[in-house]
Amino acid sequence: MTFNMDFTMTVNQTLMVSDTQYCQEDKFKTRLCKSYAVGGDENCKYGVNCKFIHPEDEEQYMRLIEYTEEYRRVKGEVQKEVQHLHGLKRTIKDAITANAIDERINRRIRLFNEVYPKAPNYYDLHGMSTRGAVNYVMDICNMMRINNISTSWLETGRGNHSIDNIPLIRNVLLNNYNGFNNVYFVPLAHNDGIIEMTIV
């Protein structure tokens, strides 16, 4: 599984998005309808008769969610909301109110990951507070142990949008928690903004 978005989009748009409404029987509902792919108008003229995957094809659609216009749109809305809340937090002098805003941000990002998982066992931590991200990672570890999952991926980013361009979440996980409770964090070689988390 690759997490290089540009490469993944190019390959998977070719393989997973329909170019035409013609469909062989063995290809029925195996590709995303181009009306629902990124850039599509989310309005297929074939409706329920379309041979390609629509949102109504829930399980198949969710497997391809990161390639959909819906995912792109909702992720943009979440990012805009989180940026607004971070901006609001910078104007707050009261620690209790600032912490409440952090909690709201962290809950919003957790909810997005639950409703729109980019891939199985993949969690996007962008925008979370450091404490909120660490708590989320601990919750993910508990869930992994319960479900006998050994590996997950954490998208922490490289700090491009952080204060002083320092990737705080990434650094805290790598420097303070690596090896703790038999949990290990390793940045991916081709994208160090994504950490592979393994429970031994």
Which residue ranges form the domains of the chain, and what is each CATH number?
A: 5-65 (no CATH), 69-199 (3.30.1370.110)
For position 26, what pLDDT does the model report?
Answer: 58
Q: At what angle do helices 69-90 and 95-115 cross, to 10 degrees?
A: 170
CA distance 193 to 98: 27
Question: Is the predicted pLDDT of residue 18 greater than 80, yes or no?
Answer: no
Dig out the tokens for 188 from the structure: 């991916």
Query: pLDDT-derived band of residue 64, with 50, 70 and 90 as boundaries?
Result: confident
Is 0.85 topped by the overall pTM?
no
Give the mean pLDDT of the chain.
86
- Residues ≥6 apart with Cβ < 8 Å to 171: none
Stretch 129-143: mean pLDDT:
96
Radius of gyration of the chain (CA): 19
Sheet holding 122-124, edge to edge: 122-124, 151-155, 191-199, 183-188
